[in-house]
Amino acid sequence: MKDLTSDLIGRFVSAVCQATWAQSGHGKLVRYNGNVVVPPETFAEITVLKGIAVAYVMAPREHEPHYVEQRAIIFDLVEALLDNPAELEPHLAELWASSDKDARLRLVIDQVASLTDLSARQWHAHLCGMLRH
C-alpha cells in the first residue's frame, strides 16, 4: 500500500510539473511568474481516488451495527482491565504499580490497541462474561 501511494504521488507530481513547465517554461516559478497546471486526466484520477477514500476510509461509520458492537467491546475491555489490571500482559502489568492514573489508562489502552478483532472478542468473553457474535 505504501509503494502504491508513493508511486501515485510521484506520478501525479510528475504530471503536474511537466504540464506546468510546458506552459510556463523552466525558469523560476515564484509568485506571479507561473501557475500550477493540473492536467485534466490527473485531476480526474485524483478525484476518483478521493471519492474512494471518502466512501471507504473516511466515511463516518458510527451508526453501522458492526461499528457499534466493536466500540462496545473496546469500552467494555478498557473498563474491565482498569478494574482488573492483573489481566494485563506481564510487561504492562509490571508497569501498573509504578504508574499514576493517567499512565494506567494509557497502559490499558495500549493493551486493547494491541489486540486483533478475534483476540479482543476472546478477552471480552473472558473478562466480561459475554461472547458477542
pLDDT in tens, 73-86: 999 999 999 999 99
Provide the greatest CA pair distance for the chain. 70
Q: And the C-alpha cell for 16? A: 503536474
Instruction: Give the integer Cα–Cα distance in Å for 84 and 34.
Output: 64
pTM attached to this predicted model: 0.54
Query: Would you say residue 30 has pLDDT above 90?
Result: no
Coil, strand or helix at 105: helix
The answer to whether residues 70 and 113 touch, using CB atoms and an 8 Å cutoff, is: no
- For residue 12 the three cell numbers come to 501525479
Contact 94, 113 (CB under 8 A): no
- 32-51 tens-digit pLDDT: 888 899 999 999 999 999 99
Question: Cell 500482559 maps to which residue?
Answer: 89
Select from 102, 99, 122, 120 the least CA-distant residue to 111.
Answer: 120
